Structure 1
Amino acid sequence: MSIDETSGPWTRLDVSFTSDGDTCAAWLYLPPADGPVPVIVMAHGLGAVREMRLDAFAERFTAAGYACLVFDYRHFGASGGQPRQLLDIGRQLVDWRAAVAYARTRPELDPDRVVVWGTSFSGGHAIVTAAADDRLAAAIAQCPFTDGFASLRAIEPRTVAKISARAVRDVARRLRRRPPVMIATSGPVGSTALMTAPDAMDGYLALTPGAPTFSNQVAARIGLAIGLHFPGRSAAKVTVPILYCVCDRDSVAPAPATLRHVAKSPRGEIRRYDEGHFDIYVDEAFEQVVTDQLDFLRRHVPVAG
């Protein structure tokens, strides 16, 4: 049992659930409560694992009375799935549905007060998941990836060409049933990596201390899929309350495209921050965004039901 200095005891359990035949590892944070409580289902962004500051968010939510189910996608972290480091958008969306379904089976959790919370690439997954499941109580999308074309335009054309070439090699190896060709998830400006903005490598890798399963690489085939992925188009179909936390200086998921998409959510709320994509996980920006998210949760999914 862990102790929160301001709010008393909470419990974190190691749990797992099945997604399309593989096992997803998860943490289940439980506040001290007598009856079923609302639960926030959480997963990380591009190539990231739960130890990369999701525990910090979950601890704050649990201290406020919410349970949290924080999971690793298949092929990443402590979850199963081969090959390792395979970032497949369709499979990750299946994992989200499996996580929500699992949360609804736990007796400690209220099946009608499930919230999805995603950040960066998983912010887009949270939008798509919420659009497809109107039984959800609410959703939160933090610095969300919403528009593949906008994200590609933010990358130097030479880098895009190098990513594409490596992705084609990986697809060719997959067709021959060979191990994947890998590509760095983050790297210096001009390198062959998925995120090469000036703040990307330092900001991304700063989240990794305490993440023993993290590897800064993924199967390169995702490089052909990112530019064709537009989860923001699902924002207009989200009928539940949804909070969008948008970083105005976002180098990975450009804010103008995100704001165009998310403005179409019928019950959407937008909070904007004068921050970069990776700033929101730490320090004062973290404190501000958690405060705003808790305010949203208390209004739309109060702990007392």
Structure 2
Amino acid sequence: MTRTDVAFTSQGVACAGWHFRGESDALTGPDGRPVVVMAHGFGGTMGSGLQPFSERLCDAGIDVLTFDYRGFGASDGEPRQTISIRRQQQDFHAAVDAARALDGVDPARIGLWGSSMSGAHVFQVAADRTDVTAVIAMTPLTSGLAAGRASIGERSVLTALKWTADGVASKVAVRRGGKPRTMPLVARPGEIGALALDGAYESYTSMAGPTWRNEIDASVGLEIGAIRTTAAAKRMRARLLVQIADFDRYVPAESVAKTAVHGRAVVHHYPCDHFDVWPGHDWHARAAEDQVAFLRREFAVGRAESISGAGTTPPRRQA
């Protein structure tokens, strides 16, 4: 598999990415190969577990562009380690524009791939564009309220209130040009961390890349609380695959299933927890195989022209 460093700008800031070139001609059409734009979820970087998914897609003849959001990993941008839903969706749009311009890519066959928090982004980005053919949402965070209730169920109300206060203080500090208040992204049970359920620390750190930092802005909970995907799912024109972990302790499966209905999705269920579909876990191979099978159907040469709204029409830009 051939990997090339790429760079593009989002809102005037340089973002780093990797371009993986498809290794097969099975899906190559007269205008080139299909391409999938892939980004990590909650505080992740492109070097943290995305390459095994990319390799499966490349073997099927699909190009992949992975990237780091502004303020994370190899990308520029300040403040560091701060999640903004609006900024990350802007970065996703910029990455799609960059992917369309890659050598050998067919701009009529564009896919989006997201998981957890980036699984929420792909709904909104696809709904706001007319050039996306297929979307994969793996264990997506579809409702901030539902995820928040699940998180609070594992912690004391006093802890939740303290985190909210820290988050507000961090936002105020950043708006005044200061540094954000940070905490560990993952921690062991009983320790302070945004994700501290049993197994989270081991699962996340086992796939952490060289630029990943176990640190996140304390205001992340306020950002998550604002996530809603229902309206975007209803507006999407692209074909959608939703992958649900039935025993997900972070993203309630019931919430994901409701959004899948609104998006008229192909749905696959896995009897596992949130991280079990990632590399090194029992359900990774199955989840990746289902993604490849879905994209082979949706990216079949000539299929894009049959889907209303797909093609090279310039995208609607996000505010």
TM-score using structure 1 length = 0.91
Q: CA RMSD in A?
A: 1.7
Q: For 1:84-163, list aligned pairs within 5 A.
A: 84-155=80-151, 156=155, 157-163=157-163
Residue equivalent to 1:66: 62
Indicate if the aligned counterparts of 2:45 and 2:72 stay in contact, CA closer than 8 A.
yes
The one-letter code matched in structure 1 to 2:291 is Q
* Aligned position for 1:258: 256
Contact 1:162 1:192 in 2 (8 A): no
Equivalent residue for 2:178?
178
Q: Which amino acid aligns with 2:162?
A: K
1:40 aligns with 2:58: no
1:187 paired residue number: 187
Gaps of 5+ in 2: 304-319
Q: Specify which structure has the higher proportion of strand.
A: 1
Q: Deviations over 1:262-293 (max 9, x none)?
A: 21113x11101011101101243111011111
Displacement of 1:159: 3.3
Q: Do residues 55 (structure 1) and 51 (structure 2) align?
A: yes
Q: CA deviation at 1:304?
A: 7.8
User: Where does residue 306 of structure 2 map in the other structure?
Assistant: none
What is the aligned-residue identity percentage? Answer: 34
Q: Distance in 2 between matches of 1:240 and 1:179?
A: 39
Query: Match for residue 229 of structure 1?
Result: 227
Report the 3-state secondary structure (helix = DSSP H, G, I; strand = E; otherwise coil) of the residue aligned with 1:212: coil
Structure 1 CA distance for aligned equivalents of residues 174 and 126 of structure 2 = 32
CA distance in 2 between partners of 1:234 and 1:251 (Å): 24
Q: Are the structure 2 counterparts of residues 233 and 184 from structure 1 closer, same or farther at C-alpha, using a change threshold of 3 Å?
A: farther
**Is 1:21 matched up with 2:12?**
yes
Can you list the C-alpha shifts for 1:192-227, whole angstroms capped at 9, x where unaligned? 32222223222222221xx11111111222222211
CA distance in 1, matches of 2:181, 2:187: 16
For structure 1, the 5+ residue unaligned runs are: 1-9
State TM-score, norm by structure 2.
0.87
Q: In structure 2, how many angstroms separate the alpha carbons of the residues matched to 1:105 and 1:128?
A: 22
Look up the SS of the partner of 1:278 in the other structure: helix
Instruction: Tell me the secondary structure at the aligned position of residue 254 of structure 2.
Output: helix
* Secondary structure at the counterpart of residue 17 of structure 1: strand
Show structure 1 runs of 4+ deviating over 4 A.
32-35
276-285 vs 142-151, which deviates more? 276-285
Q: Which residue of 1 aligns with 2:268?
A: 271
Instruction: Check whether the contact 1:66–1:303 (CA below 8 A) recurs between aligned residues.
Output: no
Q: Which has the higher contact order (CA 8 A, sep 6+)?
A: 2
Partner residue, 1:286 = 284
Partner of 2:200: 200
